[in-house]
Amino acid sequence: MADTPYTTLAREAWNEAAPIHWRQSEALLDAFRRPETSFLTPLHLDELKRIGLEGATVAQLNCNNGRETISMRRAGAAAVTGFDISGAFIDQARRLAEAAGSDARFVVADIYEIGAEFDGAFDIVTVTAGALCFMPDLPGYFRVARRLLKAGGRLNVYDCHPITDMFELDRDRGDRPLGFVRSYFDRTPQKHVTGLDYVGGTTYDARAIYYFHHTLGDITGACLEAGFTIRRLEETGEDPSQAFPSLERAAIKPPLSFLLTAERA
């Protein structure tokens, strides 16, 4: 898949957002100077350990600033590589790795165009929250993940549950009851121009970027179409986006995330 308007826009939008995120850099750098720091949730870390993180070679797609990539190295992976389309965020990832004293490797790449030199190089390919919603072609995305894996390697996806696309974010609705703002089955790409500052929560006159809604059926179907065998699919109440704290605390709630683990034949 050659570079498309969607991926070009994504690269520009994320590069624009990077210096805004870096305003929090001192806290991140200080955190990674402490050897116990991890940005993996217990739920996700448990699944990575279950599928063989210890001693594994791991790739993270859409790694952003590499927090989770570095954390996987600390958690026992033998070697880790993060891929991301934004050169500005990869630069931040390298700075964080240096602060952590980590040998984590980071590569600037459109995920659809990751080079053949990485084919068959990894035991685990992982994808975390906030990645799939920026990818227009899921079967193509998972085909890349498959070719990066060794035979018998595992794909691990831990992401926000697609049902959350239906809801108004806590910061937007305030004290109003939870309401629906989108049909679960609306797959129309959504243009956003208010920025990507999910760290500080600010908005700004930003470069356009498109979000893509994929249902859970779309995700599992694309995974199967790419040649994987699904070994585990679990829906959970944990909110990796931190966009729905009231729902995460609620006794009665929808699924907020999912874990999918699949095997390459």
* More confident: 1 or 95: 95
Average pLDDT (182-196) is 95
Tens digit of pLDDT for each residue in 28-61?
A: 999 999 999 999 999 999 999 999 999 999 999 9
Mean pLDDT score across all residues of the chain: 94
pLDDT at 2 over 60: no
Q: Which of 65, 70, 72 is nearest to 45 (CA)?
A: 72
Tens digit of pLDDT for each residue in 223-255?
A: 999 999 999 999 999 999 988 888 899 899 999
Query: What is the distance between the terminal CA atoms of the chain, rounded to a whole angstrom?
Result: 23
Tens digit of pLDDT for each residue in 156-175?
A: 999 999 999 999 887 767 77
3-state class (DSSP) for residue 168: coil
Mutual angle of helices 216-225 and 138-148, in 10-degree steps: 50
CA distances from 100 to 45, 133, 139 (A): 19, 29, 35
- Contacts for 217 with CB less than 8 Å, ≥ 6 apart: none
Tokens of 175: 């004290």
Distance CA 40, CA 74 (A): 10
Q: Which residues pair with 105 in a beta bridge?
A: 81
- Which residue reads 């305003």 in tokens? 23
Distance CA 260, CA 142 (A): 12
Tell me the CATH class for 5-264.
Answer: alpha beta
Tens digit of pLDDT for each residue in 76-123?
A: 999 999 999 999 999 999 999 999 999 999 999 999 999 999 999 999
Tokens of 207: 């470069």
Torsion of CA 70, 56, 131, 96, to 10 degrees: 10
> What pLDDT shows up at residue 1?
45
CB pairs under 8 A, 24+ apart, for 231-239? Answer: 231/154, 231/261, 231/262, 231/263, 232/47, 232/259, 232/260, 232/261, 233/258, 233/259, 233/260, 233/261, 234/258, 234/259, 235/161, 236/43, 238/41, 238/43, 239/160
> What pLDDT shows up at residue 156?
98
> What pLDDT shows up at residue 24?
87
Q: How confident is the model at residue 3 (pLDDT cuts 50, 70, 90)?
A: low
